[in-house]
Amino acid sequence: MSSTWLVTGATSGFGRLVTERALATGSHVIAVGRRKDRLQELVELAPQGGLTAVELDLTDAGAERVLADTVRAAGCLDVLVNNAGYGLFGAIENIDAREARAVLDTNVLANLAVLRATLPALRLAQGRVVQTSSLIGQFAWPSSGLYAASKGAVELISEALAHEVAPTGVKVTIIEPGTFGTEFGANLRVVPPTDAYTPTVGKFLTDFSALPPEAFGDPYAVADAVMSVVALEEPPLRLAVGADAVELIRASLRSRLEELDRWESLSLKGEVRSA
């Protein structure tokens, strides 16, 4: 049976690949993106009537209304892939308020606007919500503070949402990709570190830029993962994609557990005293 999908950030990267995959299954896709030329490419790729192109900046004040009207016009919505995002890397101190606001507006507030616009239809369909996060939605590297904070917010928003919509039959999955070869790296904003952060942020950025091509995974793996979880009756809340994501998230969780255990006596010291 065909279904209706809404994909944000549909004109490049994971969003483009998921859109192509969904079209290949015979689904109707509402493809949301900012680039008119890329949207036109998708229209030409899709079967006639198979794609609704929405040229939209999700941070615009009227974006939520536009999306809600589009979903109503489509008549239903079965799958949301909330994928649009903006990359910002640099030392915390070196990122000014304007740039910090831009990454949070795009990655958090726009994500929420998309959810508000689509959840009424998704509830009716007992649909699926796929939220694109990152392996650094679970931890942070030097330089990733603002971006990781935005993806960490998406993680916790999505976890709460999963609890809230569970009685309605809507399922939520957070996709946590590792390092993949998409246009993301070419389009992200990097704030050069000042001298104080050269040993940490500067070194990390230099080392990362020197990674060989084989260090970057095949982005089709992420699109395939999205298609797989959408088809599951009981999908996972979180799915790390890529060997590096699995390895590094596992190491981060172990480190946090070890720290919790190491400092448990201090954590409980107040309780012992009050007793």
Catalytic residues: 147
Of 258, 252, 234, 235, the residue nearest 178 (C-alpha)? 252
Q: Which residues pair with 217 in a beta bridge?
A: 180
Strand ranges inside 44-195, DSSP E: 51-55, 79-82, 88-89, 128-132, 171-177, 189-190
* β-strands 51-55, 28-33 pairing: parallel
Q: Which of 251, 228, 253 is nearest to 241 (CA)?
A: 228
Q: Which residues of 214-230 are buried (b: 16+ CB within 10 A; e: fewer)?
A: eebbebeebbebbbebb
CB atoms within 10 A of CB 24: 13
Buried b / exposed e across 70-79, counting CB within 10 Å, b at 16+?
bbeeeeebbb
Phi-psi region of 242 (alpha: psi -120 to 50; beta: other; left: phi over 0): left
Is residue 37 classed exposed, middle or buried when 0-12, 13-18 and 19+ CB atoms within 10 A define those classes? exposed
Rounded Cα distance, 83 and 60, in Å: 17
